[in-house]
Chains A and B, each alone.
Chain A
Amino acid sequence: MTAVAGSHSIGDIPILAALKFDNVSMTYPDGTFALDSTNFEVHPGEFVTIVGPSGCGKSTLQRIASGLSKPSTGTVTVDHDSLGYVFQDATLLQWRTVRKNIELLAELNGVPKAERQAKAQETIDLVGLNGFESKYPKQLSGGMKMRASLARSLVLDPKLFLFDEPFGALDEITRERLNDELLSLFQRSGFASLFITHSIYEAVFLSTRVLVMSARPGRIVGDFEIPFEYPRAPDLRFEPQFAELSGRVSHALRGAHS
């Protein structure tokens, strides 16, 4: 598999992982055993997607990766200063316009005003929010909100992007369009991704690698390399090889459910 975009090494010299989970387990204070000794790495250039049954601990894993939760045992290696995140809710601040929302994280990081405004404008163009800069979140559709949420982190030029079912609430057409756009951003900006979804097709379409988690307590029980070249055409979704791979992931997932 030489042509895989997410190859782990250059000439046998390993590149430092963007994210590394080392034997990470999580038990909540109420006794819920959510995550069971999980090991994986996300390397620069990789797009890793996790699929798993509902309630298996995917969001838990994502919160641990972001640093919002501390694992009960195990270690997580990640550079917190170069993280981007898009979670299931767009969590835009209702009182800020799209432009000011997109500036928020840069503002919190203390980026000087002129610089962050220029950067915000650049990402607004990038995610296709032109003409919506002065709108308030209540005036946006779900897809537009997600674009704004994505842009908000893009401003920081993250090395690793964490996505927790970002497009779960959208209709299929919008979701596929955003998938295409996300991939061109992925190629253009070169961030590594850890993506969580319920949709096997979304997982296979986006990723260099798909991990399958078991039912709670979540463990990684499947690991699939997705060999398709980037850029990926929207019609890749109808190729036989795509269907075949999706079938294998689906099979593993069904095994994970029981």
Chain B
Amino acid sequence: MTALSNEVGLGATAPSISESTLAEAQEVASQPHDQTPTRHISDYVGPPITFAVFIGFWYLMSDWGLKHLFDKPKFLIPEPHVVVHDSLQSVPRGDLLRGLGYTTQVVLIGLGISIVLGMALAIAMAQARWLERSVWPYLVALQAIPILAMVPLIGSIMGYEVNSRILVCVIISIFPIVSNTLFGLLSADQGQHDLFTLRNASRFTRLWKLQLPAAMPSVFTGFRISAGLSVVGAIVGELFFVRGGKGIGALLDQYRSRNIYPLAFGALVLCAVLGIAVFIIFGWIGKLVVGRWYVSTRKSS
């Protein structure tokens, strides 16, 4: 029953997401001096309840909704326990775990490239206004063009292998990193800039000791968003660039085309788990880096 406990674990990790937003809300509401948020019982019972509702809804759709609402055969949405049971058989289990490994690799490489390129670009843009103004349109365009429209082009130029998947990850995930980093770099307040001006600080000193630290909270928000997008990029990439290791996305496609729905759902669940895991991990690293000093100021939003 490891997969089931895996899913329960998924429900149990959810509090750390809601807690961070809750903690931020409390900091705004009360004085920002004391940082340990008080935990209520409701913080702990909420996630299991929503998880139970989610599973209940799944059963409902599988056993009743599919037939009565959509007039479709039941096998299209297998029941959760069937999904878990079938996915845990030794052959699919091996495939899925290996797939998870491949996909995770692509996700992390793509995200890493996005972080390095995106932050470098944002730092450059923060230095020169003309650069900021002339680069923005291209970034926005990159956001606006559907990735599917670029797939054929990427395939013909880069081939149908892992490199192309990584490129898709980067294209999908770089924008939030650039925009959040840039926003953060420009967020240091005027009085603090004045201090550096008065001491004749160099551009580099100002960047290193003022702008980058000031940017960290927003940089980590960017990482968290991009991590999720990078998972999407990796999965989408696998659907088109099929050479190389078979990731979860490729398995998903394969199971679906062979009508093995329980396994297709198993792959879907793994995609979700991967997305949640990177989201949580980056949130956690962010807290580690800025949690001690950062006072959330979301009053204005």
At the interface with chain B, which of A18-26, A83-91, A213-221? Answer: A83-91
CB-defined contacts of B196 to chain A, threshold 8 Å: 108
CB-defined contacts of B210 to chain A, threshold 8 Å: 93
Nearest chain A CB to B206's CB is how many angstroms away? 10
The number of chain B residues with a CB under 8 A from chain A is 24
- Within the assembled complex, what's the spacing in Å between the Cα atoms of A87 and B201? 19
Q: Residue A241 at the B interface, CB < 8 A?
A: no
Partner of B32, one of A83, A104, A138: A138
CB-defined contacts of B198 to chain A, threshold 8 Å: 66-68, 80, 83, 85
**Cβ–Cβ contact A95 & B293, under 8 A:** yes
Which residue of chain A lies nearest to B205 when distances are taken between CB atoms in the complex?
A108
Q: Residue B197 at the A interface, CB < 8 A?
A: yes
**Cβ–Cβ contact B205 & A68, under 8 A:** no
Nearest chain A CB to B296's CB is how many angstroms away? 10
The number of chain A residues with a CB under 8 A from chain B is 22
Q: Residue A77 at the B interface, CB < 8 A?
A: no
Partner of A139, one of B33, B195, B294: B33
**Cβ–Cβ contact B295 & A94, under 8 A:** yes
Q: Residue A109 at the B interface, CB < 8 A?
A: yes
**Cβ–Cβ contact B189 & A108, under 8 A:** no
Nearest chain B CB to A235's CB is how many angstroms away? 33
Nearest chain A CB to B38's CB is how many angstroms away? 18
Q: From residue 244 to 301 of chain B, which have CB atoms closer than 8 A to chain A?
A: 290, 292-295
**Cβ–Cβ contact A91 & B195, under 8 A:** yes
Q: Given A68-B197, A105-B199, A108-B201, A136 and B192 touching (CB < 8 A)?
A: no
Which residue of chain B lies nearest to A88 when distances are taken between CB atoms in the complex?
B191
Q: 1/0 per position for B198-236, CB-CB distance to A under 8 A? A: 110100010001100110100000000000000000000
Q: Residue B71 at the A interface, CB < 8 A?
A: no
CB-defined contacts of A104 to chain B, threshold 8 Å: 195, 209
Q: 1/0 per position for A81-121, CB-CB distance to B under 8 A? A: 00101010101011110000000110111000000000000
CB-defined contacts of A80 to chain B, threshold 8 Å: 198
Q: Given A105-B199, A108-B199, A91 and B194 touching (CB < 8 A)?
A: yes
Additional A-B contact list (12), CB under 8 Å, known A95-B290, A104-B209, A137-B293 = A68-B194, A80-B198, A93-B210, A94-B293, A94-B294, A94-B295, A95-B293, A95-B294, A107-B209, A108-B201, A108-B205, A136-B292
Chain B interfacial positions (CB closer than 8 Å to A) = 32-33, 35, 189, 191-192, 194-199, 201, 205, 209-210, 213-214, 216, 290, 292-295
Chain A interfacial positions (CB closer than 8 Å to B) = 66-68, 80, 83, 85, 87, 89, 91, 93-96, 104-105, 107-109, 136-139
Instruction: Please give me the 5 A-B residue pairs with the lowest Cβ-Cβ distance, nearest first.
Output: A91-B191, A108-B199, A136-B293, A95-B213, A138-B295
